[in-house]
Structure 1
Amino acid sequence: MWYGGFKKAGAEMAKVYSRVSKINNVVGRSDYISNPDRQEFIKLTGKSRDFEWEEYAEFERKNQKSQEKNNEARELVIALPNEMSESFSDDVLEEFSHELAQELLGNNRDYEFALHFNQARTNFHMHLLFSERERANERTPKVYKRDMWFDKTTNRMAKANAENAELRYKKGEVMKDKQGNIRYDEVPFTKKEKKFTERSWLKDHQKTIQKVLAEYNYVLDIFDNKHEIAQKKLYKGASADYLDYATNWNQAALKANNKLNKERTTLLKEYRVL
């Protein structure tokens, strides 16, 4: 279980929950989170713009510098209040999803989101798939710097107007690859943003989630990983033994955390009186 029941402002405080994962097959992961044949309870999906993850996958393959496969993207899984799926229209949910993604990632980074329920319909959550690279804002198409002549038979470069030669590309003409795509001087993406691997971002991004949810009248607290007990995930396809163990763990953790927070609140009240 990722989170206790979310409460609106004025009720007992629930916690922000999220986790970040590395993705080394972004095309496959995109299909997994957005394909209705693979997910039973998809509420909504969306993208930052009309793009294909294959662009990123191909770029990472071409720029792989070791035997280890490059990360092609990262994924945030964010627990959401179950009530949002019913009380908000799809338009509002879409607006919320884009706002949250842009607050977390900025305005020049490609992302894809999917809002899901788990199989038991007890856990509403967002999958947010994003690139660690931003799109390069300005790209200059490559052009031929001189006329390009080729031998008709051998396809080798030839002198201008030579026998059996033909002019295939004129000076100033835009270069294209074998698939007909324009070739550019600059790479299409920036370097990977290091902040997504830093502990500070892992902590700060939960504050961003907290802030955006508050704008939609859901007030949450931040999980205190130094003192509170984290809950176990109920994995899809996990064994019955594990699910039983994780459920019991989560119930005990919730009870312990509630006791800790109650004692902390009492102590703070007494301290203020003193």
Structure 2
Amino acid sequence: MPIVRNSFIQMSKLTNLKGRINYISSHARQENLYAVYETTDRKFWTELAKCNQEEFKKSGTEGKCIEARELIIALPESFVDYEPDKLLKLFTEHFKQNYDVECIAALHHNKRKTNYHVHLIFSERKLLDDPVEKIATRNMFYDETGKHVRTKKEILDEAGQLRSGCKIIPKGEVYERNIFTIKDSRFKSDSFLDEVKRSYTDLINIYVRDDKEKLKVFDKNGVYLPMKKVGKNNPKAEQIETDNRVRTMWNQTVDRALVSGVPEGQILEVKQSEIGQKAKASIQKSGRNPALFKSLIMTAIYALELLISKVFKMALEKADKVTEGFAKSEPEQTKVRAVNEPVMAKSEPIPEMPKKSKLASKYLRLADIYNKLEKQNEAIYQREQQLASVEKEIAGTKGIFKGKQRKELQEQAEQLQSQIASMKQYLSNIVQGYGYKNVKEFLAEYRASKAEYNDYQSAVARWKQQTGNKAESDSLKAKLQRKQQEVKERENNRQSHYYRKDRGGR
């Protein structure tokens, strides 16, 4: 089973539109530039930048003016087989048809040719059919910042001369001319980027020739946290990598929780209450704080580990009760009665033996993988119990005479923590080795396969009852074929598991 990868599409704000257009479309500045496609002439972008700067000045807003927006769309490497000009036109016109705004796009490879991608710059405004002109009904006065003032005196210096940068527009002349509409607010919404991701992911999947290259959009409302893109020469690379390590820890804990049997709804509740809601409130109050976000994730991990521990304790208590019940009960002799096997009447046709569906045929192999997950999860839980015991001992070793003992215990605790971290990573890697993106994806197929396999077993039992025949059990040859298929899948996925790390658009 090929690993289904998430599409990569990011959006950024452009504060220097002219410079950015020059950068993405210049052969002198781009080593691997294959095509440039424009839906309008360059004069449009000059006028757009001017309009946005004027509107920004009038608003009095602090910060930088957003002159346009840009999408970077990562493409499968097999797309190099398509003609660059036609491919870029397809992707650019796709956006223009959907949103009816002007675009300019470029098709690149990065320096090492590991990342084939499109840069697509688009306008948030449209040209008006007829420009809107405002005529001055009296002399209009503007100060150095371009702000309109009421009297001429406000723009004169001490000598009564017009200050540098100030201007006067005489009565009867045009003081304001608008050729663009206001900015379309939908381009600022989170839903817009999600919509674009789904639209382009569907478009890419139409043109991929191999199912292994098919993409999907990451479900941000699911149980997992997305990894952040580092990119090339990113000044925040170290901060992003630290953030990604904490996100990975959460995702590994989610895998464990799912294997342990914690309901997906409970995991989502923890994610939303401990991470989503608190992070949103923090951003609104004091802006983005990476250290606080890390703290929120660690608290959520702890909450999830408590749920996992609760599930294990309940399972152990249940097992103890079952064992106790068996010990108390007396063995009874079961009377075996001879049962006459039903024989079909000669005149009745013998029904055909039920056949396994493709999904049911996978069950025994998937059950082996599931058993590996359960064993690994139990081993992690045992190590965690050992760590808790050692930490309890450390808390009890106080005083100067127990320094040596405390040091030994701390070293033991560090070793256990390292082992647990490696074991958690291995648990997530188990399913990835068989071509699944994560445990959730594996469990979905495993449960569906188990249901179909149980239906098949029931159908076989009914067939045996009707015919008196015995179904053929899995032969040694069939088991060997299943193992060979398992090894083949793992080898294929090892080759396809390397996902180009250098995915940053230049």
Q: Shorter chain as normaliser: what TM range?
A: 0.5 to 0.7
Taking the TM superposition and a 5 Å limit, the aligned residue runs for 1:16-31 are 16-31=7-22
TM-score for the superposition, normalised by structure 1: 0.67
Higher relative contact order (CA 8 A, sep 6+): 1
1:196-236 alpha-carbon deviations (Å, 9 max, x no partner): 11111121111011121123236311123451441432314
Could you tell me which of 228, 232, 239 is aligned with 1:235? 232
One-letter amino acid of the structure 1 residue matched with residue 36 of structure 2: T
- Report SS of the residue matched to 2:178: coil
Q: Which residue of 2 aligns with 1:58?
A: 50
Alignment gaps of 5+ in structure 1: 1-9, 145-182
Q: Residues 198 and 50 from structure 1, CA distance in 2 versus in 1: closer, same or farther, beyond 3 angstroms?
A: same
Distance 1:14 1:228 in 2: 15
Distance 2:234 2:442 in 1: 41
Q: Residues 94 and 126 from structure 1, CA distance in 2 versus in 1: closer, same or farther, beyond 3 angstroms?
A: closer
Distance 2:234 2:196 in 1: 29
Q: Which stretch of the first structure deviates more once superposed, 198-207 or 219-228?
A: 219-228
Mapped pair 1:261 → 2:254: no
Taking the TM superposition and a 5 Å limit, the aligned residue runs for 1:19-168 are 19-52=10-43, 53-64=45-56, 65-66=59-60, 68=62, 69-85=64-80, 87-103=81-97, 106-107=99-100, 109-136=101-128, 138-139=129-130
How much has 1:37 moved relative to structure 2?
A: 1.4
Q: Residues 13 and 134 from structure 1, CA distance in 2 versus in 1: closer, same or farther, beyond 3 angstroms?
A: same
1:99-130 alpha-carbon deviations (Å, 9 max, x no partner): 33225x523x1111011111111011111111
Verify the 8 A CA contact 1:73 1:132 in the aligned structure 2: yes
Q: Which residue of 2 aligns with 1:7?
A: none
Q: Which residue of 2 aligns with 1:159?
A: none
One-letter amino acid of the structure 2 residue matched with residue 261 of structure 1: K
Distance 2:118 2:24 in 1: 10
Give the number of the structure whose alpha-carbon radius of gyration is greater. Answer: 2
Q: Residues 114 and 261 from structure 1, CA distance in 2 versus in 1: closer, same or farther, beyond 3 angstroms?
A: same
1:38-74 alpha-carbon deviations (Å, 9 max, x no partner): 1111111111122321111111122222153421001
Alignment gaps of 5+ in structure 2: 136-173, 252-424, 452-506
Distance 2:84 2:26 in 1: 18
Mapped pair 1:13 → 2:13: no
Verify the 8 A CA contact 2:92 2:103 in the aligned structure 1: no
Distance 1:67 1:91 in 2: 40
How much has 1:131 moved relative to structure 2?
A: 1.0
Mapped pair 1:205 → 2:202: no
- Aligned Cα RMSD in Å? 3.5
1:128-181 alpha-carbon deviations (Å, 9 max, x no partner): 111111222x21587x9xxxxxxxxxxxxxxxxxxxxxxxxxxxxxxxxxxxxx
Verify the 8 A CA contact 2:52 2:65 in the aligned structure 1: yes
Q: Which stretch of the first structure deviates more once superposed, 258-267 or 209-218?
A: 258-267
Distance 2:113 2:179 in 1: 40
Query: Runs in 1 of length 4+ with deviation above 6 angstroms?
Result: 183-186
Greater fraction of residues in helix: 2
Greater fraction of residues in strand: 1
